[in-house]
Amino acid sequence: MKIQYILGVTSLLLTTQILAKDFDYKLSVAAVGMSMDYSEYSDNGELLDTEVSDLNGIMGLELKASYTRVDDIENSTEIGINFMILGGETQYTGSLIGSSEGYGSYLGVTTDTIRDIELEYRHNYKLNNDFEFMYGVGFGHREWRRELSSTQVEIYSWYSLRPKIGINYKYNDFSLGALFEYQYGINPEMSLDIPGTYVVLDLGSADISKFSLPLKYKYSEEFNLFTEFVYEKKIIEKSNIAEGWQEPRSEAYNQYLKFGAEFKF
C-alpha cells in the first residue's frame, strides 16, 4: 500500500514537472517609426515651445526576448525583456534662451534620441478558443536626449513601474489585441548642458498613458509577422529651481507604427 502511494505521488510530481516545463522561447525584431507632438507651458498656461515630427521623422528598432511557460490549458506566464532605440529630428518652434521675444520668434531643428528598456511579466488567461485576457507589470528605464543645438543638450531620464492590461482576439491565423499601459515615473530628472552651465533638475513627475493595437499573422508554428500601432500621452510636471534654472511643465502626444517578425524556438 505504501509502495503504491509513493509511486502515485512520484508519478504526480513528475507529471507536474513535465507540464511546468512546457514553454516557448520567443525573439522578435521590429522597425519603428515615431511621430512626436511635444509642448512646454508656463505656469499660467502660456505656450512656450513645441517640437513636432511625422512617423518617418524619428525611426529605429525594437527588440524583444521572452519565454512563455504553460501552467495549464487556460493559464500561461510570460517573462521577457524589451529594448527600443529611436533617433531622428523634430521641428522646433519657440524662442532663444534669454530672449524677451515669445513663442515663434525662433525656428530650429532638434536632434532626438530615445532609449527604452523594460523587464516585463505577463499572465495570460484563455477565456475561450477566440479570446485571451492578459494582465501584467513591467519595470523600465527611459531616456530622451534632446539636442536643441550643438551647445544646448537636455537629457530626460527616469525609471518607471508599468502596470498593464489587455485582451486578444484570434481568428484563423490572425490575432488582434488591445492593450492599455500606465507608466508611473520614479525619480525623474533632466540634465541641462550649455556653455558654462551643467545642472540636474528634479522633475515633478514623468508619467505615460499608452494604448496599443497589435495585429499578428501566424505564418507557421515558428514564425509570425506583426504590425502594431501605439498612441501615448506623456505628462512631465515642472521641476525644482536649481542655479536659477527650471524646466517647465510639458505634454507630449506620440504615435508609433511598428512592423516586425517573431521567431519561436
| CATH of region 26-264 | 2.40.128.100
Query: What is the predicted pLDDT for the residue at 18?
Result: 43
Q: What is the pTM of this model?
A: 0.88
| Whether residue 108 has pLDDT greater than 50 | yes
| Whether residue 26 has pLDDT greater than 50 | yes
What is residue 9's DSSP assignment? H
Range 129-152 average pLDDT: 96
CA atoms within 13 A on the CB side of 142: 21
| Whether residue 231 has pLDDT greater than 50 | yes
Query: What is the predicted pLDDT for the residue at 24?
Result: 87
Sequence-separated (6 or more) residues with CB below 8 Å from residue 88? 34, 53, 57, 58, 59, 60, 111, 112
Range of weakest confidence among 2-6, 23-27, 107-111, 213-217: 2-6
Range 39-64 average pLDDT: 96
The C-alpha cell that represents 54 in the structure block: 511625422
Q: Which residue has the higher pLDDT, 100 or 34?
A: 34
| Whether residue 47 has pLDDT greater than 80 | yes
Query: What is the predicted pLDDT for the residue at 72?
Result: 87
202 phi-psi bin (left φ>0, alpha ψ -120 to 50, beta other): beta
Would you place residue 23 in the very low, low, confident or very high pLDDT band (cuts 50, 70, 90)?
A: low
Would you place residue 240 in the very low, low, confident or very high pLDDT band (cuts 50, 70, 90)?
A: very high
Chain Cα centroid distance, residue 224:
21
Query: What is the predicted pLDDT for the residue at 106?
Result: 93
| Whether residue 53 has pLDDT greater than 50 | yes
CA 153-150-39 angle, to 5 degrees, is: 45
Range of weakest confidence among 51-60, 90-99, 193-202, 227-236: 90-99
